Chain A
Amino acid sequence: DGGITQSPKYLFRKEGQNVTLSCEQNLNHDAMYWYRQDPGQGLRLIYYSQIVNDFQKGDIAEGYSVSREKKESFPLTVTSAQKNPTAFYLCASSIQAAYNSPLHFGNGTRLTVT
């Protein structure tokens, strides 16, 4: 079955710790994305990557970092510099960012930082 896998579904961390959220896709998509969802805020773009070894900042990149060493994988690190890290994080992929193709989303990771 093709799809996007985000793990874990729930993640708990202490304030001041970095944490990495996993995202893997087997759809052979070139482009991958990270969005953050907060109540009443919709989906806000953190980072996106159109090809391996390349990525661009989205609207709210501060306090986050990403890597794209493999086409299938786009992990997101939430650093201690992110002031409000508690949120629902969604990873997505598409054939290519240039094409008018829909995004396919994973089922998200809920991160709670206390």
Chain B
Amino acid sequence: DQQVKQNSPSLSVQEGRISILNCDYTNSMFDYFLWYKKYPAEGPTFLISISSIKDKNEDGRFTVFLNKSAKHLSLHIVPSQPGDSAVYYCAAKLSGNTPLVFGKGTRLSVIA
């Protein structure tokens, strides 16, 4: 059973507009959340993370929001650029010696 769900397999956004990628999780014990970006035939690269004690974390054009009551997080990219076109993975982690659990990814296409 999937603990981390990205229900939108794909998303298309115009250049300059906001991209919003969503992620839901089922395990309320997750306490650390991350977003990764992946280009074809390459490994994922870390984008941004958030601890469960926060509800927002911002890094340049990227902002992650966490709603613990809804077990939902989202990644906002503003403004979107063509180079942002990639697959984005949401990941979550329990505290302690536990590995990351990944969602299935959302493919973002930013159209010029």
Tell whether A108 pairs with B42 under 8 Å between CB atoms, given A42-B104, A100-B32. yes
Number of A-B contacts (CB under 8 A): 59
Question: Which B residues are CB-close (under 8 A) to A98?
Answer: 96-97
The answer to whether B43 touches A108, judged by C-beta atoms less than 8 angstroms apart, is yes
Question: Which A residues are CB-close (under 8 A) to B56?
Answer: none
Asked if B83 is at the interface (CB within 8 A of a chain A CB), the reply is no
Bound-complex Cα distance A90 to B87 (A): 15
Bound-complex Cα distance A81 to B92 (A): 30
The answer to whether B104 touches A41, judged by C-beta atoms less than 8 angstroms apart, is yes
Tell whether A90 pairs with B97 under 8 Å between CB atoms, given A42-B104, A43-B102. no
The answer to whether A108 touches B41, judged by C-beta atoms less than 8 angstroms apart, is yes
Bound-complex Cα distance A4 to B97 (A): 21
Taking a contact as CB atoms closer than 8 A, the residue among A33, A41, A100 that contacts B99 in the complex is A33
Q: Report B86-112 residues with CB < 8 Å from chain A CB.
A: 89, 93, 95-105
The answer to whether A107 touches B45, judged by C-beta atoms less than 8 angstroms apart, is no
B9, B43, B45, B98: which has the most chain A beta carbons within 10 Å?
A: B43
Closest B residue by C-beta to A38: B104
The answer to whether A42 touches B102, judged by C-beta atoms less than 8 angstroms apart, is yes
A44, A97, A110: which has the most chain B beta carbons within 10 Å?
A: A97
Tell whether A103 pairs with B100 under 8 Å between CB atoms, given A40-B9, A90-B44. yes
B31, B34, B102: which has the most chain A beta carbons within 10 Å?
A: B102
Bound-complex Cα distance A105 to B87 (A): 15
Bound-complex Cα distance A4 to B45 (A): 12
Question: Which B residues are CB-close (under 8 A) to A44?
Answer: 102
The 4 residue pairs across chains A and B that have the minimum distance between CB atoms: A105-B43, A42-B104, A102-B46, A43-B102
Q: What residues of chain A have their CB less than 8 Å away from a CB belonging to chain B?
A: 4, 6, 9, 33, 35, 40-45, 48, 50, 58, 88, 90, 92, 96-98, 100, 102-108, 110
